[in-house]
Every structure is written in structure tokens, then in C-alpha cells.
Chain A
């Protein structure tokens, strides 16, 4: 099946710093979503971005589908950005509808 790798696994930032999180996937995809899981376990959908670039406030994401990677940019980080960021994809080939495969996540800690 499709493989999803996220890097770095852990990231510690000072408040106000910028960061880039990466998601590599092993096959072409028709669905890619970025999620943020806060320290209490709540997952929030950040972007639906199988290709192209989107921005939402301090967050933006770019997916280069032909090169099989996606990037999540966080600018001017805040302590509330702490948590785990997941990339989830669905491969173009076979598989079941709605079956997203999640990466292991990047754990971000933003220090005041």
C-alpha cells in the first residue's frame, strides 16, 4: 500500500519562529489532508490539498503531486500551535473510498 512519511518527527520552536513540515508519499494521490491534533486529542482539519497551494492565516500548504510531497508552513508560531500535525493521503489506485492513510505525524512544541 501507499507509504506516508512525515518529517521531522519532532520539532521545538521558540514563539514567533517559522517552520516547514514535510509529507512524502510513495504513489500518486487523489486526496491529501493536513490535520492538527491538540494536546487533548482533538483533530482539526487544516487543509484539503491534493495539489496546489492554499493559505489560511498563518498557515499555508503546498502539494507538488508530480513529485509526491506536500509542505505545511507555519509562520509566526504561537504556543497554541503545539500538538501533532498529521498528513493523510488516499492513493489513486484501487483502495476503498474514503480510506485515508495517515503518517506518523510531526510533534511540534512551541515555547513561550
Chain B
């Protein structure tokens, strides 16, 4: 138990569906992250939020839309996805982005997404 939870753990969706992934951290952290992990590829950072403001958007397609309503919750809204978007989506949090040990990242268990 890392203090970061994600729901759902598994998701199957069609290309025309709209769904949302939820992440919640119980660590009192100020920074949250979305990562994508595809087979045979390194983890890819998608979005970074610090104090509810987006500070990083790594050229992610607009069919992925993040939302951070407060420092404990992070959502990833999905619409009109493609089969190649099937992957493990991981959420992480850290105490901050100020450098040093505060940037130690704690990961949730992930959501395994299959797009048909």
C-alpha cells in the first residue's frame, strides 16, 4: 500500500466510448503525475500537476484530458481512443517539485486499459 489509489483497476472500452480514470493520494502531497506504460516501451510521462496547476504536458493527444480538482485527486478523461492507447496507466504523487528527496514519487497500482 503506497497511499495512492486508482480506479478502476481494469477497463475495457470501445473507440467511441467516454470514460474517466481516477487517482487519489492520501499522503498530503502537492504534485501528481500520469504515466503511460505500453508493452516493450519505457514509462512515458503524460502530465504533471503541482498545486492543482498543470506544469507539464508531454505532447499527449487531445483525446486524453487531465483534470486536477484538488491536490488529492487527479482524473484522466478518455474519449475516442485508439487500440494503440491500450496500456497500463499509472498515477504517481510526490511531496513537491522543489528538488531533492521531495521529488520521490509514489505510484498507484495502475489501470489496465484495453481499447477495442
Write the residues of chain A forming the contact surface with B, with a CB cutoff of 8 angstroms. Answer: 4, 30-31, 33, 35, 40-45, 48, 86, 88, 90, 96-105
Proximity string of chain B (70-95) to chain A, C-beta cutoff 8 Å, 1 when within and 0 when not: 00000000000000000010101010
Q: Are A41 and B42 in contact (CB under 8 A)?
A: no
Report 18 cross-chain contacts, Cβ distance below 8 Å, ordered by A residue: A4-B42, A31-B99, A33-B104, A35-B107, A40-B109, A41-B109, A43-B107, A45-B106, A48-B101, A48-B103, A97-B97, A98-B48, A98-B56, A98-B94, A98-B97, A102-B43, A104-B41, A105-B42
Number of A-B contacts (CB under 8 A): 65
- When C-beta atoms are compared, the residue in chain A nearest to B99 turns out to be A30
Measured CB to CB, the closest approach of chain A to B79, in angstroms, equals 24
Chain B residues contacting A44 (CB-CB under 8 Å) are 2, 107
Proximity string of chain B (27-67) to chain A, C-beta cutoff 8 Å, 1 when within and 0 when not: 00001010001000111010010100001101000000000
Q: Does B20 sit within 8 A of A, measured CB to CB?
A: no
Measured CB to CB, the closest approach of chain A to B88, in angstroms, equals 6
The size class of the interface chain B forms with chain A is: 20 to 34
Chain A residues contacting B106 (CB-CB under 8 Å) are 45
Q: Does B105 sit within 8 A of A, measured CB to CB?
A: yes
Q: Does B112 sit within 8 A of A, measured CB to CB?
A: yes
Q: Are A98 and B104 in contact (CB under 8 A)?
A: no
Question: Interface of chain A, helix or strand or loop or mixed?
Answer: strand
Chain B residues contacting A99 (CB-CB under 8 Å) are 45, 48, 56, 58
Q: Are A104 and B42 in contact (CB under 8 A)?
A: yes
Distance, CA A42 to CA B107, complexed state (A): 7
Distance, CA A34 to CA B99, complexed state (A): 16
Distance, CA A41 to CA B109, complexed state (A): 6
- When C-beta atoms are compared, the residue in chain B nearest to A6 turns out to be B42
Chain A residues contacting B112 (CB-CB under 8 Å) are 41
- When C-beta atoms are compared, the residue in chain A nearest to B106 turns out to be A45
Q: Are B55 and A98 in contact (CB under 8 A)?
A: yes
Chain B residues contacting A48 (CB-CB under 8 Å) are 101, 103-104
Q: Are B55 and A96 in contact (CB under 8 A)?
A: yes
- When C-beta atoms are compared, the residue in chain A nearest to B94 turns out to be A98
